[in-house]
Structure 1
């Protein structure tokens, strides 16, 4: 909008003339948006967004004109939009609510602001731009036009009414200095959430009652779409009230847009999904009515018409058959919206929303009797909260003062003696410590505490923890919105925790207090996944011994008993089984991941056995009612908990856990679920699943997510992946399936293959390709494709088989219809002049260097001109064009770049024919021909993969003669191309493993330079493989043995690095190396070590890239020196 508007202003002179052109441009755009709206080409969200962005642009252009008139920079002020413009939900005839901020108040800034407002509001031909409302600024109309940030903040802190803070929820910088505006909003955000919940509810209801009182006096209470009963304002006020109450504890609910706010509030349990659906549909309906009204009257109006004709027009505009139907729908939405507004604000249901979302408020769930019974029946560990009520109360005061948590450490005192009195055994080994923890509630509080205890290698022997109503009856002055926990923990003898607790990092209590406070703060800011990721990563790093199938604890005997509590939303969950390190963290983490809320946890250990009791409900405050959710609760406590035990074997444990939960949910409905569940409980299977899910987003997104039922047997029978099938056996299997003769039998995964009689042959081909592509990837991930090159070799073998079979399918389909192509002669000729053809692989496919996300670069070459000998005749060019296009379309890529057929390497690229005549190939790539140097360079990877073998050898020999005849390499052109690649494709301040200086491309180009310059003299250099050429160059004394060894190591390192990047990201495009020391960096290093057993750590990346740079420089000098010798 801004660019177009500025273009329109270039022909105008003077401020008045430019403003006139700006208004004309705005009217054209309003007409365009209105027409699109009228014809149903835009939905409400897009219409309001377009209107809002247009207004943003008009304000910015007006400010630019005003600044030019004043002779100052437009950056001196920041224009903040409020109301509907702030929420990007503007109407056709809306006022725009603005406030103006300046870093320093001067006469110039005041004049600039006045000129801006005048430019927007002056009504001169062809009209005005917008009505501007500036009354939301400090002191309203009595206040200065422009305010300094600190003065505005002082006003909000000391004088502002709640409605003024409510208005700032929709604040958005739209013009002038973005930095100034953004900084101002960050500065004032804490000032918006100072009112109590009761004050917010009372003020919002009072404001709405005042509005409705005025409407009632005018007789418009039930016909006003914007402000009346059950109107747009009901929905907006409800959403904003929830933001004021919960915005500080859960910042993710803060957004300027009403629809977006409703979505977020539903996601975090602040409103039910049922309420969300009604509020959203009601809001969209009412806003559409409002838009239609404004188009009808061409003015700012929100009242339903009383005139029958106008009401009928409105009904027709909104696609209703008559006015009665429109009014019936209006009444339905109005009543539904009003009911929710009253239930939520007047009954205090908002309180329940906060507790469900992990905020400070609490909800009464009718479980007081049950909760108090826990304390009465919970002998020993279940009585700790009451026994330590005084200490916990003191800690709660300290936690409230900081808004975080407080931790106290007791050595060898009360908890131990309490447990002793109840008969439990005291653990023999390790130092016992007692910990009391109290803090402001947050989502996932229990898993955070238990996770940190495991990180410090402190094993929970017993404990009592509660939040919300779980604390009822534990002490009289129970603080709202807090959790409390008492634990007895045992340190690992000689473990890291024992050595570090007394270090300079502070006492155990101080360190836990700081860490719980930090992670709790993240959770309240909405960074829950970051909290989960950090805990899982640190937990995995702190496990005393990496778990292996042979020495693991068997969790399959874990018993779970679920008992719904009568008269309560809570479910009692009794867990017993063999104890293991980090047991309760694994359990709490699994429950948190499953969206269950733990209100009370009583932890007991007796020797090597655990006997835990938990009281849980849904995160949104509802009971666990459905059998499906009860089954998920059992799985969270068993299967997902067991899987967490194996996360230390995964490179990316956080995503492995998320993907495993998704996998389990997808497998549950299947008929084979019981068998799959038994298989997944086996330690060896869980270990393999953890490695696969934690190592590759690509494997999950491309295969397991959508084809879990057919591919799960590969994981269950992973031992069979140790053996590499022979390509001839694969060919027989594929041909059998294509012929429809495979009537069931074991395939390479050990799964049973179904008959394929009715399957399209291309579908058979692609399913075979994807199944065996996944098999090879699995072999690679599980470490069966070593040494380096084995993985590439297997992928290339499969690719060759797929291309050969695809060519056969295309040939058969075309020859049945058109006959065979023949050289020269007439149609119908059956002479010996059949037209030979071949397909060559290029790039990584040609070089037998394929990896994750490699495409298939192909070139089809045919012998010459002629026609087919069938009844329907095609020229040879047409026949082979159709053939290669059938291959291109028939081989489907499961994901962008993965086995995607690329035909761009051919004469004239995409502008030339897809199938290449042999004579055209020779002419184009000949020395002195039209091919660019980089095109001729690409032919060093030219390798016959399908078609006539004799003809293929002839074409390959011809290509080599053309490529190696010149004995030259254009380093200037190569340098220019590399500079362009880096400029276009490498993000500033990052390292791209392929394209950055010293990356893989530099190594490959240097090797290809050796080939092009010396290949005519040394036959060993005429090889498609980079490593083979390096070794041949050393044998030819072009590089030293030491240099060859160093470059080969660097090349393999970069290939492995790129392999692991693509494996994780699932595409060939983003090869940016993560920032050093980041979690992604650490996971990348773990992935390289796990899969490739790399001898070079990731920390030596720069050193390896330096080796490549040095090698590239040596090659250039060598080639330039050779040129000088040959051309003195």
Structure 2
């Protein structure tokens, strides 16, 4: 402290005798640089202490305001350089004090270091821009628009995770070409900004008697050191589109505009985003990532980096690599993975279940520990190093900084974390051939087959491999590989296809029906010829390829769904979720989490999320059914749950959209919607199939005369009509992922001629006075599936009243029900072609089929609920049949026979649906069930 005067020495003596003595000793003992700065700037620590800045964080606005105040008094570049360095060194002391004494979290430390760097860059840029415009004038575009430089931070600064003595990786750009105006002489914009960039770098990077501010690295710019220091946006965009390499995608994940014309910079980032994050699952990045991983491993061995806690095995770089692999592959689909912060991304990987909770916990703990070690190493001499020290004093200081009793204890703890990181790193983008059951010479056989696309040769080889119809398989295979679409592919894509086909042929040869399976998968291949990343997905995940073959072997419907929406291949990656489905609460929670990651005003993204959710879960139901893990009754239940959860979210989205535009209803509880969606038919009866549409009715109970209170108010009738329209729009609009559901609104009062949304009173009056018998039959299977709970209770009460209390003559009711059944059979029962060798039975409309059971149930409910109210409780046929038996209205044997028949018909219907066959079976099938139903019809309805 030789530079200190008596007052300063007295202050340090007092501090060393205060309760902050341990903190002072730790800062001085663990950082020689801290001691050096205290000697060189003896007032700095005292000023920080008296301002209370050693015990509290400092945010970016406060840092910038302080630096701008100090810089406002400087007159030239040299004075600015000195000002920046004094500012940096003073706050470096503050940050190191807080970090070593654990008064700040690791996240706070890196954030404050990043804010410190950004403030210095912003002030240096502003100062030199003003100085240069006085000499050369203001840069303008060819249209006369003022131009400012944009500073893009990469790496740790981009992620807001700068360390204590880190380089700052920057890219400089400006919006448009042009020249300066208003100065002593005019120069081209690029020349102006290159000189500006050079001055900013010098202000930060040059070593002066006061040290440096931050070392600046510009090598991540286009063309690296051989490229111009600054380019305009068009040139930057063209470079990344035409020449951007995989490692540059990797680097751009953390890119952030930090200074200058940030608003224009954000627009540039939006344009560049598709370069970084592909719209689809980008497994094409895996090979590049595998190469990067190999380079990392080879570099560790070549440079003997065992003692480097960033670059060595199990180090910080490996943690970052793990996170960024998922970002590159899945970031285009999962916006939450586009975050720059490593900690944020790791948390998202846990939330999205891409990494196990325990793995993320280990990586987070290791990252926190290693970053603290990195800071302690760099705090020792304020040097950019991540190398473990060899000097005993430095080792003792590092162990002390990390809270360990000695170097040995520290080494054990460090090794524990690094071993865990190395284990997880080894598992990322591992070569799929490692541990594969497929013999290399087997695949070589298939490669040889594809080299010689002669039909007879291919047919012979396929037949020898077990393909049951080698001629047809060869025809389709040769047609695919000889097609114009394949010939037009880029060489890299064609290579992927030819690498994939041997794996597919080998897997298909193991299927129960090899030729049929191959023919079902070929349309999927044709659909992804321009997006061969999906083929890489299957090559990288051999189990997923196995699931694809098994599912397509079992069901052409599944094969067609995958061909239409290849994005669903992602669902094949996890067998535990593919062959199981969550309950309704689980479905609701998953969809809510998906939608929470999307901005509330981004309707397009919400619609895509809803569609993917529905497609993915219907695929899981189908996979579970064909694998035998989900029985028939559960299949319909889950398909219905999926629709209900989707409808709940669609209503919430549409409601938010309308209230955001028109406001809420004055004087009405905003928590209530006063609106319900009523499901009829299969939806109401919990009996949805894979291709079922939704029979819906919309009802509201808002008091008359109310209007919304927003800037664009509308009355209640208009509001709810628009709400209904918006719901139908969200459900039925064709997007990239198709429509959510087909919707049928014909069961509303007065059918297509009626209002889209009925008031509750109007609905009640219609049902009491104007509804036909068939409409009350439909009401048997009606229930609220989404919307306001109080209105749902009112509807349920009204339904029971209409079913139980409406006066009905049994004979007349029976006559009308039978007449409607005969009319349906005449109009809907498929007519035979006359040339069929074997007559067919239509499962739904045929005599003794599904609709006969449904009509008997509906008749029984309408005829007998007056004396037996429990009949009106359920809306699904099986539980109503059970209630009929419990109420002694149907003999137990008859009830069980109808239930068994109904299950048999529906089970067969589901199987046929998955086989993409019409709902008919040979006339000889299900004879006992049909005869039972027909006999009971005669007894009950004749």
Shorter-normalised TM-score: what interval? 0.3 to 0.5
**Bigger relative contact order, structure 1 or 2 (CA pairs below 8 A, ≥6 apart):** 2
**More helix by percentage:** 2
Q: TM-score, normalised by structure 2?
A: 0.46
**More strand by percentage:** 1
Q: TM-score, normalised by structure 1?
A: 0.39
